[in-house]
């Protein structure tokens, strides 16, 4: 394959053009002066908590402006280790933590280290669109297993897909786009799966782990630290999407490779942003801000859920994250286009979360109550 062909192929991976089309159209309509409301966003609408901003200003004033340690500054890794050890109820050493530019790089870093071209990666559908992108970029074989309606894992089917070339299973709970949570039973069965298939690793994407409305966040990490990799992020929890700060917790042997890789690619996230990250984890005021955000998301979830069910949609109410994933019964792309053109409401077509979801759309409730009310009124009108 010629260099340029490869790039063309990458651009077409994962049906991004559909989502890009909707977003571009939403921006164009807005620029023309139309009252566009976007429920296609994947980020909190709240500003970053003051305590984090203050810590950033302080770090800049204190000249924390030099190259960071390529694994992440030790003070931040220490804060992450304390935070995660408490949450996961296990000791986590700072030697297993790699601080990254947002959580996203943990996906290619994991594949880069664990796979050879032709190896297999299993995604549970619906999935976050960055996963299939990297599977294809690394020339891996993509296998897709559709989750049960309630977000639980169909283990018989999953097992049938695993071969001795299967290196990675990616799980994401709370889920984007469904908001489903990992059950304790599924977690135990995942651990059995690791015992049964010794060349398999699990990448557990837990970026929504703090945005939960009921139930308990369950992670397989504490139960198998050799073969479970954690992807976490400051983006959603602390309304820090633009700051680009996240981390991975890896089996220790992986770190020396990843640090080398990181140091040659990025060195790491901006030094003073890493100092602000310490405040995010340690400042009690910030933690209270997070609790307030989650309460507000819950209020919006309940409101949107009630409106959607009155419109006749049936769905599993999300227990975490900030999305509804609903079957609209027609082509989701067409639905999204027409809803935007006729009512100026942008939603995300379900097809980008996997081929089984062409009749679905994702509705984000990370928007003001006022906008959500107006958007639900317009959606109701549209359906009529
Ligand atoms: N994982 C999931 C499931 C996500 O929804 C997102 C963001 O939308 C990410 C990872 C990446 O987040 P970030 O790179 O901002 O940390």
CATH number, residue 83:
3.40.640.10
Shared-domain flag, residues 276 and 379: no
Same domain, 293 and 271: no
Determine if ligand 1 sits within 6 Å of the CB of residue 320. Answer: no
Q: What is the largest CA-CA distance in the chain?
A: 59
**pLDDT at residue 21 in the model:** 80
Half-sphere exposure of residue 27: CA atoms within 13 angstroms, side-chain side: 6
* Residues of the chain scoring pLDDT < 70: 1-19
Does the CB atom of residue 205 touch ligand 1 within 6 A?
yes
What local confidence, expressed as pLDDT, does residue 343 receive? 98
User: 204: Cβ below 6 Å to ligand 1?
Assistant: no
The interaxial angle of helices 3-11 and 130-137, nearest 10 deg, is 160
- Asked if the structure places residue 40 within a domain, the reply is no
Pocket test for ligand 1, best of 235, 242, 247 (most atoms within 8 A of CB): 235
Gyration radius from the chain CA atoms: 21
pLDDT at 12: 57
Of all atoms in ligand 1, which is nearest to the CA of residue 103? 16
* Residues 271 and 296 grouped into a single domain: no
Residues 172 and 201 in one domain: yes
248 CB under 6 A from ligand 1?
A: no
Q: Are residues 122 and 225 in the same domain?
A: yes
Q: Please give the Cα distance from 308 to 318 (Å, whole number).
A: 13
Structure-block tokens of residue 267: 């060195």
Number of H helices, E strands in the chain: 13, 12
Give the pLDDT of residue 346.
Answer: 96
* Domains identified in the chain, total number: 2
Nearest C-alpha to atom 5 of ligand 1 is from which residue? 176
Helix (H, G, I), strand (E, B) or coil at 362: strand
Task: Return the pLDDT at 41.
Answer: 86
Burial of 300 (C-beta count, 10 Å sphere; 0-12/13-18/19+)? buried
pLDDT at position 3: 56
Phi-psi region of 34 (alpha: psi -120 to 50; beta: other; left: phi over 0): beta
- Do both 157 and 190 map to the same domain? yes
Q: Are residues 215 and 345 in the same domain?
A: no
Task: Verify whether ligand 1 is closer than 6 Å to residue 103 (CB atom).
Answer: yes
Predicted local confidence at residue 375, as pLDDT: 98
Residue 256, in any domain of the structure: yes
* Domain extent for 211: 63-282
Count of Cβ atoms closer than 10 Å to residue 103 Cβ: 23
Contact 352, 19 (CB under 8 A): yes
Cα 1 to averaged position of ligand 1 atoms, centre (Å): 31
One domain, residues 310 and 272 = no
Do 336 and 246 belong together in one domain?
no
Out of 127, 170, 233, mutate this one to test ligand 1's pocket (max ligand atoms within 8 Å of CB): namely: 233
Q: Which of 218, 248, 282 is the last residue of a domain?
A: 282
Assess whether 296 and 270 both reside in one domain.
no
Taking alpha carbons only, the member of 21, 172, 182 closest to residue 107 is: 172
Q: What is the pTM of this model?
A: 0.95
Residue 133 in domain: yes
Q: What are phi and psi of 131, to 5 degrees?
A: -65, -55
Q: Give the total residue count for the chain.
A: 384
Give the pLDDT confidence score for residue 1 in this predicted structure: 46
SS3 content of the chain, % helix, strand, coil (to 5): 50, 15, 35
Q: What is the CATH number of the domain that holds 22?
A: 3.90.1150.10
User: Does residue 191 sit in the same domain as residue 312?
Assistant: no
* CB of residue 238 inside a 6 A radius of ligand 1: no
- 236 Cα: distance to centroid of ligand 1 (angstroms): 8
């Amino acid at each position: 394959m010629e260099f340029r062909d490869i790039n063309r192929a990458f651009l077409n991976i994962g049906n991004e053009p559909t989502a890009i089309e909707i977003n571009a159209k939403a921006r164009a309509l807005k620029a023309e002066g139309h009252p566009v409301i976007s429920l296609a966003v994947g980020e909190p609408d709240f500003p970053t908590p003051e305590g984090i901003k203050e810590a950033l200003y302080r770090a800049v004033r204190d000249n924390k402006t030099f190259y960071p340690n390529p694994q992440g500054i030790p003070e931040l890794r220490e804060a992450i280790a304390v935070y995660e050890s408490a949450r996961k109820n296990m000791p986590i050493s700072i030697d297993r933590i790699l601080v990254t530019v947002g959580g996203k790089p943990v996906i290619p870093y994991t594949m880069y280290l664990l796979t050879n071209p032709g190896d297999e990666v299993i995604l549970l559908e619906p999935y976050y669109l960055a996963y299939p992108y990297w599977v294809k970029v690394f020339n891996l074989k993509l296998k897709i297993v559709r989750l049960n309606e309630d977000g639980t894992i169909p283990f018989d089917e999953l097992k049938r897909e695993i071969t001795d070339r299967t290196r990675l299973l990616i799980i994401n709970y709370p889920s984007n786009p469904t908001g489903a949570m990992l059950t304790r039973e599924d977690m135990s069965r995942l651990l059995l799966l690791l015992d049964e298939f010794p060349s398999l690793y699990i990448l557990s994407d837990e970026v929504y782990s703090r945005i939960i409305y009921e139930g308990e966040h369950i992670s397989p990490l504490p139960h198998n630290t050799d073969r479970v990799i954690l992807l976490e992020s400051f983006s959603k929890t602390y309304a820090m999407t633009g700051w680009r700060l996240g981390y991975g917790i890896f089996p220790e042997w992986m770190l020396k490779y990843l640090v080398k890789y990181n140091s040659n690619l990025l060195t790491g996230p901006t030094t003073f942003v890493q100092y602000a990250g310490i405040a995010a984890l340690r400042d009690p005021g910030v933690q209270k801000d997070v609790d307030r955000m989650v309460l507000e998301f819950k209020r919006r979830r309940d409101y949107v859920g009630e409106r959607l069910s009155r419109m006749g949609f049936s769905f599993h109410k999300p227990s975490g994250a900030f999305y509804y994933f609903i079957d609209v019964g027609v082509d989701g792309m067409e639905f999204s286009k027409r809803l935007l053109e006729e009512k100026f409401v942008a939603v995300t077509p379900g097809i980008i979360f996997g081929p089984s979801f062409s009749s679905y759309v994702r509705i984000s409730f990370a928007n003001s109550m006022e906008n959500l009310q107006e958007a639900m009124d317009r959606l109701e009108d549209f359906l009529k």
